[in-house]
Amino acid sequence: MSDAIERPPGFTYRSDLKRQSRLCCEQLPVERLAERFGTPLYVYSARAIRERVRAFDHAFKDIEHTICYSVKANSNLAVLRLLGELGCGFDVVSGGELARVLAVRRAEKVVFSGVGKAAQEMEAAVRAKILLFNVESASELRVLEACAARLKSTASVALRVNPDVPADTHPYISTGLEKHKFGVPVCEARELYARAARSPHLRVAGISVHIGSQITNPTPFSAASQRVAEIVGELRRDGHTILYVDVGGGLGIPYQQQREEFSHLVRAYAEAVIAPLQGLGVKLLVEPGRSIVGPAGALLTRVLYRKANGGKKFIVVDAAMNDLIRPALYQAEHEIVPVEMARRAPEIVDIVGPVCESGDFFARARSLPAVAEGELLAILDAGAYGMALASNYNSRARPAEVMVEGKTAKLIRRRETIAELIRLERAN
C-alpha cells in the first residue's frame, strides 16, 4: 500500500482478521459505514479536523490571531460545532451561513465577507453583534451604514482591498486581481475609510484581503501581506484605528498526494503571512476552510456497472456530479481508491456517475486496480466543497453525512428523500 493514497489520521488502510487490507476512517472500516448508512455517503474524521486546527494555531502562535473557519467549505452543523469547541471563529458569506453558525455558537468571532450582502443579511449580522464586516464596495458601505442606523447600532468594518496579486490557481477561484469582482482598488480605499470614519454608525476596525483559493505556493501570500502592511501604515497616518488584519484563506491541499506533513505546509504559509506584519500590533484573522476539512472527508460510492464502448472502459458508480461537482466544475482530480485493497492488475478507466451529462465524471483515463460490480470506492479529499456544493440535479436526493470519532460513527445529516424534494412544489 502506497502512503500516497492514504490520508492519516482520518483515512488509512488496516488489515482485518483475514489479513485483508480495508480502508478505515479512524478506527472504523468504511465498508461498515456504507452498509449501515448506504451510499453515496460523506464520511468525516473528527480527529483529522482537530489536528489541522491545532496545526494552524501552532503555526500562528507568534502573533495574536483567531482562526475564522470559512463556512462555505463545509457548513454541516456538527462540523461547525466541533470547530467552535476548538476555539475557532467563522467567516460567513451569506445570511444562511450566519444562521448556521448562530445555531451552534455566538457571533462574537464571526466575520461577514462576500461581494453581494443583502440589507436583510446585514441587519441580521448587526443584531447578532458580529466581530467584523468585510466591506467590498462603496455601495455596500452605504447600505451597511443605513442598516446600522435603523437598528440604532454601530457596525465594525474592514475594507477588503484588492492588492492585484496574481495567484497560481484555477481562474474560477482566483480573486486578487483588478479584473475580479471582489474587493476595492487600493487607490479608492483611503477615501472609503474616511467616509466610514465620518459615520456615527460605522467603526473602522481593520483591513481585509483574500487573493484566491487552492494556493500551495506561499509567495503570493507574502506579497499580499506586504501590500496590506503598507496600507495599514497609510491608514494609521490618516488617523484610523486598525485593530485587525484579515488575511483571508486560500491555503491549498495536494489532492493527488499527501507526502508532505501538513504542519510543514501551514508553517510555511504562516511565515509568509506574518513576516510583513510583525511589529504592527494587529490581531490576525485567518480564514482557512479547505485546508482544515478537505482531507478530513471522503465520499463513499458503490460500483453499479462496468461497461466498455469499443476499447474504452467505464466504471459507473452510484455517486454523481450532483453529489461532488468539483471534477466537472474545476477539472479537479480527486484520488479514488478501492475500499478493499487487494493485489489486482490496474486498468485505465473512466469513473462516471448516473447523471445524464457527459460532464458527470469523477476521473477520466485513470489507472485503478480492477474493481467488480458491487464493490466500494472512496473519493478522497472530499470534505471541502463536496456536500456544500451538492444539488438535486436529475431529482437526485443528496447523500447522508457521518462523523467518525475513534470507533464511533454519528449520523450528522440523514439522506434526503424524494418526497422531501417535491414537498415545496405545487402541480396546480
Please give the distance of CA 275 from its chain centroid, rounded to a whole number.
25
| 356 is known as an active-site residue | yes
| Candidate list 68, 88, 147, 356, residue with the active-site label | 356
Tell me the residue type at 170.
H
Q: How far apart are CA 187 and CA 228, in angstroms?
A: 13
Contact by Cβ (8 Å): 287, 249: yes
Q: How far apart are CA 130 and CA 139, in angstroms?
A: 20
Nearest to 8 by CA among 51, 40, 39: 51
Please give the full DSSP string across 176-220, using - where no structure is assigned: -STTSSSSEEHHHHHHHHHHHHT-TTEEEEEEE---BSSB--SHH
146, β-bridge pairs: none
How far lies 201's CA from each of 92, 150, 152, 183, 361, in Å? 22, 10, 8, 22, 50
Which letter does DSSP use for residue 295 in this model?
A: T
Nearest to 311 by CA among 359, 256, 348: 348
Contact by Cβ (8 Å): 300, 11: no
User: Where in the sequence numbering do the catalytic residues fall?
Assistant: 356
